[in-house]
Chain A
Amino acid sequence: MIEGLRAGLATLAEPINLLMILLGCGAGTFIGMLPGLGPITAIALLIPLTYGLEPASSLILMAGVYYGAVFGGSTSSILLNAPGVAGTVATAFDGHPLARRGHAGKALAIAAYASFSGGTFAAVLLLFAAPALASVALGFHSPDYFAVTVLALTAVSAFAGRGQLAKALMMTLLGLMLATVGQDVASDVPRFTFGSIELLDGLSFLLLAMATFAMSEALIGILHRDRRDTTITAVEGLAALRVSRAEIAEVAPPIARSSVLGFFVGVLPGAGATIASFLAYAMERTLAPLRAREDFGKGSLRGLAAPEAANNAACSGSFVPLLTLGIPGSGTTAVMLGALISAGVQPGPRLLLDRPDVFWSVIVSMYVGNVVLLVLNLPLIPWLARLLLVPRQVLSPMILFFSIMGVYAVSLSAFDIVVMVGIAVGATVLRLLAYPLPPLVLGFVLGPMMEENLRRSMILYDNSLSFLWQRPTTLVILVLAIMVGLSRLRRPSRST
């Protein structure tokens, strides 16, 4: 390993690779900040740039864009409640309320520190445990993945206040139902498309996230624009970047726990940053003392730090199956896999033997990239926070426009925008009726994974549900999910 690290450091020390880290982190952060444009778009657009580069340089560039975009995505989540990246949806739950209370600088700074810690912690774990973890991930089968989605769904209880559990459950089911729209993957049967060709591909996550968070936020801002609490008159300056000892003591344990959780969830192919961030949020809310739990959803520092640490750790974790098995753990790493294969590098078990320079330089670049991200972003925070001072009559149309632009740039479909407006109106009504929307997004994200693995398990086990108790891993995860659910029923929180 020491030899590998040396080789990685030597490769990374080449000026072109240092430049790629800077370029990747900078471009990723910028693109991630734009609501609607995520890491997949950014990496896909940068692929032509990588053709003339060495494989190690191109992977370093793409990795930089990846975690830069996740890092930047938290900025639009916190400031505008517009998560352009699925992994930063949970960041908005407490980040945006903090910003609305005039602590945008503090929220962005805590998010930056948590991301840095999560990313760095995961890079160290990756260094020591990548090959061993790859074999564990390979041992996960369809029943286990189904159990993981059930466990992740128990996170909805974290978004339900007293008497709201049924509402949270209803929203989860609505999200799961929306996820079934489109052509069925297994049988090619169109489901709930009403004969529309545009709906055959289903609804995109980006469309749903933008409509339920960003656009409904803009519509509620317009609806309540005469109310004083919707107007922000001042934001903190550079002083906001200072974190007190009490605040460090408050967020350090959640960051440590969420980093570990995020990394291990990220290692599982298909799970990724979104599930990691939701699970981390739910875990921290469950573990928090009763008084601190009441702050969740209203601007809790723990509620902000946990998903931020988890999503960055999961990004690093998703490189384990990519580098060691050649299996992409997420959509973004799938695009990277394609780019690497086209560059003549086949990620997999032999990568460590055949191209140690590529393997180790990527791992080392993750640590350096996290430092670069922190250095690049901290000085910008007071300036970014001033975005909230833009008057509501200007900010609301801009939020609507950037949400639409993000979706239109990907799909070029006017139909998608009309659907998006319809969902935004529905989401606005639901928010006014006190229905929590995060469970809807969680259900939508988990739906396809849950259905696919349930169907595959049923087929593998001869149309029987015996897979639920025959596989020890599945059983352990399901028991954990039941325990989380029961603990929530026994100890309801006061409000969200």
Chain B
Amino acid sequence: MSPQRISPLCFLVGAAAYGWAALGLEATTGLSSSRMGPSAFPVGLAIVGMLVAAWLVARPGADAPDLGGDHRRVVLIVAVTILYAVGLPTLGFFLSTTLFLAAALVTLDERRPAFVAGVPLGTALASSLLLRVLLGVWLPEPILRWLGLGP
């Protein structure tokens, strides 16, 4: 089956699941007696969504999908970004940002050591100062604080 048909099929299944979940919603207030409870709008969306998805399955259009490219590197970057998100609360903003940018640069074939070290460090430092000092945003820095270097 062509990708042009697989994607609307996914939408069809997704809209049906969304509608099913919406039917399970129950109002806990007086609005439950109204036709417009918390599930009405989502159920309407699910019905229209299934109709449009079914139309797309039948007539997927002539746009050729452009799925080629360096998939391995995209998967690596996505993995590095998720690790960055997971590491933020534990490592803190400064350290995790430095490590994320360095890892992303290396993943994208940047090999100059000074560049791979300098750009992430400079960016992490500048953004920390901008957020913390200029904009007054609190950022978690557990490791720097433990080392006696952080606020």
A389 within 8 A of B: no
| Bound Cα distance from A393 to B36, whole angstroms | 50
Q: Are B85 and A417 in contact (CB under 8 A)?
A: yes
Residue in B35, B38, B63, B127 with the greatest tally of chain A CB atoms within 10 Å:
B38
- A219 pairs with B74, CB closer than 8 A: yes
C-beta contact mask, B15-46 vs A, less than 8 Å → 1, else 0? 10010011001111101101111101110011
- Bound-complex Cα distance A455 to B27 (A): 14
Please indicate the chain B residues that have their CB under 8 angstroms from the CB of A433 in the complex.
3-4, 7, 63, 65, 67
Given contacts A219-B78, A435-B7, contact A187 B62 (CB under 8 A): no
Choose from B7, B31, B53 the contact partner of A187 (Cβ within 8 Å): B31
Q: Are A184 and B70 in contact (CB under 8 A)?
A: no
Separation of A190 and B86 alpha carbons in the complex (Å): 26
Is A192 touching B81 in the complex (CB atoms < 8 A)?
no
Cβ of A197 within 8 Å of any chain B Cβ, yes or no, is no
Q: What is the minimal beta-carbon distance from A441 to any residue of chain B, in angstroms?
A: 16
Are B37's CB and A187's CB within 8 A?
yes
With an 8 Å Cβ cutoff, the count of chain A residues facing the other chain is 59
Q: What is the CB-to-nearest-CB distance from A55 to chain B, in angstroms, rounded to a whole number?
A: 23
Are the C-beta atoms of B61 and A166 separated by less than 8 Å? Answer: yes
CB-contact partner of A401 in B29, B70, B100, under 8 A: B100
* Given A222-B73, A432-B65, A459-B36, A394:B105 Cβ within 8 A: yes
Q: Is A414 a contact of B85 with CB atoms below 8 Å?
A: yes
Q: Is the CB of B85 within 8 A of A225?
A: no
Q: Is the CB of A409 within 8 A of B131?
A: yes
Cβ contact within 8 Å between B137 and A177: no
Within 8 A of A (CB), among B53-81: 53, 55-56, 59, 61-67, 69-71, 73-74, 77-78, 81
Q: Bound complex: CA of A325 vs CA of B8, how far in Å?
A: 47
Interface centre among B62, B64, B104 (most CB of A within 10 A): B104
B28, B49, B131: the one within 8 Å of A189 (CB): B28
Residues of chain B within 8 A (CB-CB) of A409 are 131, 135, 137
> Residues of A contacting B61 with CB < 8 Å?
163-164, 166-167, 434
If A170-B49, A224-B69, A393-B105 touch, whether A164 touches B63 (CB-CB below 8 Å) is: yes
A19 contacts B by Cβ under 8 Å:
no
Query: Does B136 belong to the interface (CB within 8 Å)?
Result: yes
CB neighbours of A176 from chain B (8 A): 45
Q: Complex formed: what's the CA distance from A435 to B108 in Å?
A: 27
B136 adjacent to A45 (CB under 8 Å): yes
Chain A residues near B22 (CB, 8 Å)? 191-192
Taking CB atoms, residues of chain A closer than 8 Å to B82 are: 418, 421
A-B contact pairs, 14 of them (CB 8 A): A163-B63, A164-B63, A174-B49, A223-B74, A224-B69, A225-B73, A393-B109, A396-B104, A398-B101, A404-B85, A409-B135, A414-B86, A451-B41, A454-B41
Enumerate chain A interface residues (CB-CB to B < 8 A). 31, 37, 41, 45, 161, 163-164, 166-167, 169-170, 173-174, 176-177, 180, 184, 186-189, 191-192, 219, 222-226, 392-394, 396-398, 400-401, 404-405, 408-409, 412, 414, 417-418, 421, 425, 428, 430, 432-435, 451, 454-455, 458-459, 463
Known: A186-B31, A414-B86. 13 other contacts (CB 8 A): A164-B63, A177-B42, A187-B32, A191-B38, A219-B74, A223-B69, A393-B105, A393-B109, A401-B104, A405-B127, A414-B89, A454-B41, A458-B34
